[in-house]
Amino acid sequence: MTGPPVRADLLSLTPDALAALANRGLVKRAAKDLDAGRGPEITVAADGGIGGAFPDGAETSLPAGAGLEAAACSCAATGTCRHRVCLVLAYQRTAPTGPEAPAPDAAAWSPGAFDDDALARVLGQRALTAARRTLRAGYSAALRRPTADDPVAHAELATCTVRFLVPDELGYVHTDAVAAVRGEVTVLAVWAFRAADERGLTGGEVRLDVGGAPGESRAAAPDAALDAAADLAGQVLLEGAVHAGPVLATALGRTAADLAGRGMHWPAAALGDLAAQLAAYHERGAGHDPARVAELLAEVHARHRAARGPDRSQVLGTDERAETPLARVRLTALGCRVAGTAEHRTADVFLAHAGIALVLRRRWDVPDGTRLTGADLAGRRVLGAPLRSLAAANIVSESAARSAGRVVRVAAGRVAKTTVTPLGNAWETLPGGLLVRDLAAEARALDALPPRLVRPRVEAELVRAVEIAEVRDIGYHPGSQRLEAVVADAAGTTAAVSADYSPHRPAALDALAEALAAAPRVLTGGVRKDRGGLVIDPFAVLTGDGVVVPDLAPGEGTAALDAPAPAVGDPLAHVLTEALAGCAEAAHRGLLHTPPGLRERIARAGADLDRAGLRTAAGAVAALAAALAADDPHRTARAWAAAHIRLLTTAELR
C-alpha cells in the first residue's frame, strides 16, 4: 500500500517565494514558532491535502492542487496568516525525502509548457479573453528563465512583473498587478514564454515581441514620422548646434510630439532631449554637452535603422502609455540622485521591486535668488517621511502605480496607505537580478544586452546593489571635478566608481569619499560598461555605521581629497575617445561648417583606430573623412551616423 502523494509544490517553496506570497515578517515569525515547538500537528489526506492543528487552537488546511491563496485557517486574520506559512514550513521539515520524493528540476521547465486549457481551468476564461485583446495588438516582454541558483521564472511586461515561483504550478504565480488584472497578465506571461520556446530563444534572459495584428509585419519600414525624425537629425548634423536656429528647434518638438502620439516613445524622447540640448546651448546653460548632442543624434539614426528589424516595438517604445495599479507592494530604497536646472530641482529615489529597479520622482521649483541643494531637500517630506529617510528605507504601499517606463506614482491623498520603515539588511537579501556579487558575471550580462542606442528607454534599467570586498584606490581629479575609486568583489574582479561634482549636491563627493574609506559592504548605483570595464555611478553606500546617501549630505564640499593613483594607459580607450571627440566636434560645428583642421583630425583618428586593430570602426571613420572632403551633404550625414553609431557601440561593448 502506498502512502499519500508527496506535495512537491510545497517542497519547492523557498523562503523568498513564501515571502512573495505572504511577507518576510510572517515567514520569520512562522519559523520562530516552529523552532520554539509551537508548530502544528500535521495530517495528510489521501489526495495530498494538508491539515494542521496548532497549540493555540487554530486549524489550518492546504487543499491539494491549489496554491497558498486557497488555504483556510480558523484564526481571525484576513488573508495569508502565520499559521498557513508555518504549516508549509512544518510540512517541508517532515515530508519524505529521497528517491520517493524527487525535487522538480526548476531549470528544466518553462512556463510556456502550460496550455490554454490549463490557463482557463486555473485563471478563468475571462482572463484569456482579455489577454487575447492585448495579443492582437502585440506586446513586449523581457523573460528570465529559471536556473539552479534562481528557480523562479520571471516575465517583465510593460507595467508589471510576473513570477512563477514553483515549477509546473499555476497556483503559485506572483505578480505585482492588482487582483483585477492578475489573471490576464499571467496569461500574457505564459504566452511570452511559449513564443520564446517556439522561436528557440532559450537564453537565460530574452527580450521579444509577442502577437500583433495578422498580416502586419513588425519588420515593416518605419512610417513617415520616423523618417521625418531622421531627416531632422540630419539637418541638425549639417547645421550643428552652433547654427541650429529656433525654426529647427520648433520642428524637433513638433516631430517628437507626433512620434509620441503614434506610440514611438523612445525616439520621441531622444528628439525631446536633443531639443533641450540645443536650447541649453543657445541659452548658455550649463546642461549643454556636445558629446551628449552627438549621442542623441546617433540614437535617432540608430533607432530609425533598427526599426526595420524584428524588435520594432522595443526599439521604438511601447504602443501604449499604460499605468498599472500595483497590489500591496514592498519596495526597498536604493538611494537617491539629486539633479535639476536653475529653475527646478529633482530627486529620483530608486526602489527595488521583484528583481528590477523603479524610480519615484519628485520635483521642486527653485524661487528666484535662492539656493536649493540636496541637503536642503533632505528634510522635505515625500510619502509622509523626510527624503533622507525615504532614500534608505523599506516602503510598503497599497496605493502605488507603475508606468511602462518604470516610474512609480503614489495616489495623491493616500499616503496613509504607505508605510516607511528602516532599511535593515534588506540590500543584502535582494534577488540576483539586482544584487551583484560577481562583477565578472555582471559584465557578461551587460555584454549580452542590445546596444544602449536601441534599448528601451526605461528608468533605472541598470541600477544595481554591488557587494564590495575591497576598496583599492580613491582619488579626486580637480580638472574634471570627478571622484574616482576602484572597488573589488570577493573574487578580486574590479570596477570603477565614478562620481561627478554638481552644485546641486555640493557635499556629495566628500560624503562618498568618507563612506568608501569606511570599509563599505554594499554600494548602489547605475552600472554601465565603458572602455572595456564596469563603471558605477553611486547613489548610496552601506557601511558598518549605516547607509550614506551622498547627494543628500550636508556641507559645502570643502574637504581636501587625495589625488588618484597614476592611471594605467589604455591605447584602445585613447583612440576611441579621440575618434568620438572628433565626431562630436563635427556635429557641434555642423558638417557643413567643418574646418580643414577638424577634417584632418578625423582622418588621423581613423588611421589610429586602424593601427589599434579596430578596423571596422576605422573604416567607418575613414568613410566620414572622405565624405567631408567630397562636400556631399547627404553622403556626409549618412557617413557621420554610421561612424558615430559604430564608435559608441564599440566603446560600450569592447
Q: Domains of the chain: which residue ranges? A: 8-94, 106-210, 224-316, 459-552, 571-653
pLDDT for res 602: 94
CB contact at 8 A, 482 and 567: no
- Going by pLDDT thresholds of 50, 70 and 90, the confidence category of residue 168 is confident
Q: Is pLDDT at 491 greater than 60 in this prediction?
A: yes
- Check residues 431 and 581 and name the one with the higher pLDDT: 581
pLDDT for res 104: 52
Q: What percent of the chain has pLDDT over 90?
A: 37
pLDDT for res 8: 79
Give the E-state strand segments of 259-366 in sequence order. 323-325, 329-340, 344-353, 356-365
- Going by pLDDT thresholds of 50, 70 and 90, the confidence category of residue 222 is very low
Average pLDDT over residues 234-247: 86
Give dist(CA 73, CA 89) in Å, integer. Answer: 15
Q: Which residues pair with 527 in a beta bridge?
A: 536
DSSP assignment, residue 501? -
Closest CA to 166 of 122, 115, 103, 117: 103
pLDDT for res 97: 57
Q: Give me the CATH code for the 459-552 domain, please.
A: 2.40.50
Q: What percent of the chain has pLDDT over 70?
A: 92
Q: Which residues pair with 212 in a beta bridge?
A: none
Q: Is pLDDT at 85 greater than 90 in this prediction?
A: no
Give dist(CA 103, CA 12) in Å, integer. Answer: 7
- Check residues 324 and 55 and name the one with the higher pLDDT: 55
Characterize 380-397 residue by residue with b for buried, 16 or more Cβ atoms within 10 angstroms of its Cβ, and e for exposed: eebbebbbbbbbbbbbeb
Quickly count: other Cβ atoms within 10 Å of residue 207's Cβ: 19
Strand bridging mode 400-403 / 344-353: unpaired
Q: Is pLDDT at 53 greater than 80 in this prediction?
A: yes
pLDDT in tens, 135-164: 887 788 889 888 877 788 889 887 778 989
Q: Is pLDDT at 98 greater than 60 in this prediction?
A: no
Give dist(CA 108, CA 456) in Å, integer. Answer: 29
**561 three-state secondary structure:** coil
Characterize 53-81 residue by residue with b for buried, 16 or more Cβ atoms within 10 angstroms of its Cβ, and e for exposed: ebeeebebbbbbebbbeebebeeeeeebb
pLDDT for res 465: 96
Q: Is pLDDT at 101 greater than 50 in this prediction?
A: no
Average pLDDT over residues 508-518: 94
Average pLDDT over residues 617-630: 93
pLDDT for res 96: 66
pLDDT for res 515: 95
- Going by pLDDT thresholds of 50, 70 and 90, the confidence category of residue 100 is very low
Judged by average pLDDT, the poorest of 363-367, 486-490, 519-523, 524-528 is: 363-367
DSSP assignment, residue 284? T
Please indicate, yes or no, whether the overall pTM of this predicted structure exceeds 0.75: no
pLDDT for res 99: 44
- Going by pLDDT thresholds of 50, 70 and 90, the confidence category of residue 527 is very high
Judged by average pLDDT, the poorest of 375-389, 416-430, 486-500 is: 416-430
Judged by average pLDDT, the poorest of 4-13, 261-270, 391-400, 430-439 is: 4-13
pLDDT for res 71: 85
How high does pLDDT run on average in the chain?
85
Average pLDDT over residues 200-227: 67
Q: Is pLDDT at 219 greater than 60 in this prediction?
A: no
Q: C-alpha 255: how far from its chain's center?
A: 27
Average pLDDT over residues 26-51: 86
**106 three-state secondary structure:** helix
Average pLDDT over residues 607-632: 91
Q: Is pLDDT at 68 greater than 90 in this prediction?
A: no
Q: Torsion angle, CA of 115/116/120/123, rounded to 10 degrees?
A: 70
Closest CA to 205 of 496, 537, 461: 461
pLDDT in tens, 346-386: 999 999 987 889 999 999 998 877 889 999 999 999 988 99
Closest CA to 246 of 290, 281, 295: 281
- DSSP-assigned letters across all residues of 192-207: HHHHHHHTT--SSEEE
Average pLDDT over residues 588-602: 92
Give dist(CA 112, CA 192) in Å, integer. Answer: 7
